[in-house]
Structure 1
Amino acid sequence: MAGAGVAVTPTRHHVAVENITITPATLVAALVAAVLIAVVIAVTAVFVSRSVSHSVSRSVSRSLGQSSEHAADRSQAAVTGYLESQSQALNSRLEQFASTIGEFDARRREESAVIAVKVDDLTASSRAVAEEARAVAGAMSDNQARGHWGEMQLERVLRLSGLEEHISYNTQVSVDGGRSRPDALVHLPSGRCVVIDAKTPLDSYLAAVSAADPAERDHHFANHARAVGEHIKSLASRNYDEVVPGAIDVVIVFLPSDSLLAEAYRSQPDLLDRALAGRIALASPSTLLAHLRGVALGWREQRIADDAQTIAQLGRELHHRTTTFVGHVSALGASLTRAVDAYNKAVGSLERSVLPQARRFEQLGAGSTRTLPTVDPIDQQPRSISA
């Protein structure tokens, strides 16, 4: 097999292989060549694939980058417009808020000035009230001054009730031969009267008001209630209904302040029952005013009733006088009727008996220069009075 060869005869379209002799070495060489060719083809394919992939990737990246840039531009423009609109709205609201804050601040300053003035006025008023309270407390330290204060409060309530002094009530009236002098007598329309006493003890109450310690204050209020109770006993023993003409059997004890009565009731809840048992009625300015207004209303109704009786009496008198006058007018009418009848009779007699003779004198020329007048009878009669 050694020395064998291959003869190739080419033609236009094909190659003819003749007398081919294949040895082991030739086969190995062919296999190696085929492997090399396959490796080259594989490497080339990988390189081409990577090149194509990189190109495609760059193309896609460029496309995506351009799209992202356009989208980002559009998004940025939209966000910028939105932020600008929101900023304008926020600035407008901030301006409104600043204006409102300015108005509030101006108003606060004005109100602060007004409040400062009012605080100053209140401080001055408080000082004046404190000074007045000290002056009143000093004045109330005198028993006579306290009595005058109670009397003035009583007269004030009497005037506010609508009663008339010296008609509906009297003050400081001496009774029982000068041994007693009630502060007021309130007259009732029935002719009776009510005795009012305003000499209530105030020492313990004033001490309680001035006390700073609550226990001391309660102690003085308890003494005040006991003093009122003792005053009730003293008035009950005077029997004003027996020494004052027309007085009812209940005496009113006037306390010139509502707190005086309230504290007395608080310290001694049974004080009212004990007072009523002694025919004593306790009254503060508000309760006494209500009672006296009822009395004033009774007086007004009494005056209305008196006026009605006067009107009725005047009506009866007017009717009597009218009846008398109508009688006179009727008599006058009857007299006029009789006078007319007498006149007509006289005229008839004149026409029948006298005038013919007088006219005869005129015919004979014996008459005077005057002409006889015509005398006519009266045909109307006086009008009769109908009921």
Structure 2
Amino acid sequence: MTTSMPILSVILVATVAVLLGSGATWWTMRLRAERDLAVLGTERDLLRERVVDLEATVADDAQTAAALRPLGDALSRVERHVSDLERDRTSQFAALRTRMEQVHTAAGELGRATQSLAGSLNSANVRGAWGEVQLKRVLEDAGMLSRCDFDTQVTVSGPDGRQLRPDAVVRLPGDKVLVIDAKAPMTAFLQAQTEDLDPAERQQLLRDHASSLAAHLKALAGKAYWSAFPTTPEMVVCFVPSEAMLAQALAADPSLHQSALRSKVVLASPGSLFALVRTVAFTWQQDALTENARELLGLGQELYTRLSTLGSHVAAVGGSLSRSVDAYNRLVGTLESRVLVTARKLRELDLVTGDLDEPATAEAAPRQLSAVELLDAVAAEEARPELLLDPAADEQRRERDAS
């Protein structure tokens, strides 16, 4: 009995020691678990803040999409303008080829019509009307109706109060005008076309025709149409309605053309007047193309400006993505170095079963901008002062990141 009592005492003491050791171990593990829970709570708060940052990133994505929408509209307008310019260029060349073919045909018809008109142009009124019809026909064949405006029989007053009435006034780009007269004399020329004339009489009639045309040129110079039209070049165009009529006059008097230029008068046959007026029509076309090019330039400048703005938005999105990746990697580091270590000790004490998965870090990073235009926009954006929406929250975030 005496021997059994010490044995019971030893067993009792050992039991109490084991219980006390287990309680101390349990208490230590509890304190450590509470500390780990506090750390996890902190990490949870950090994750909640990162969620807010991600929501802001989504908002930035929406802003980027809104910024891209006008860019797409501008590109569509540029494509439409380029297509319109190409279509206009093709149609203009086709129209020019058609007009040249028409002029070639018209020149042949004019030569054949000269003989038939000789008998019907004995009246001065008929001759004047025929010259005006020929002038209007050349203007229309040159495409003036589509690209350039012209008026016929315009009455104006000269500086001395005289009434002047040119046969046609062609309007040029820049509010300029070109005055054309179609009253060239043709009586002697028509008489020279009579078949029963001997060569000497025909030559004399042709010289008379050249003299009449020279007198008409002198009269045109005396009218000084350019004084009644301040925006016209200091000259007047004398339209001779037949190629043969002008050629015969120049053959009889080769100095006729030079004397006309000295008098500020330009002699023009149907062919040369067509070339002159067609040049005016082409000038109108180039003026319209210049307007299109100017608008295209404005669209290009607007597109370049919006590309620069887009660069700053892209850089902001890239920065948000980088910060999110950094926050995720810090979370993984904390989980591996603080949380999983304690959790594995629980498994070593056989308090839990199963393995814990190792979290993977995010290695990918946003691609950096390399275009010079976008980098310029980002530099301008970084030069602006940083606006802190919540200074206290930002200070707390920096302290937590440092710890």
Return the TM-score normalized by structure 1: 0.49
- Greater relative contact order (Cα < 8 A, sep 6+): 2
Please identify the structure whose Cα radius of gyration is greater.
1
Return the TM-score normalized by structure 2: 0.48
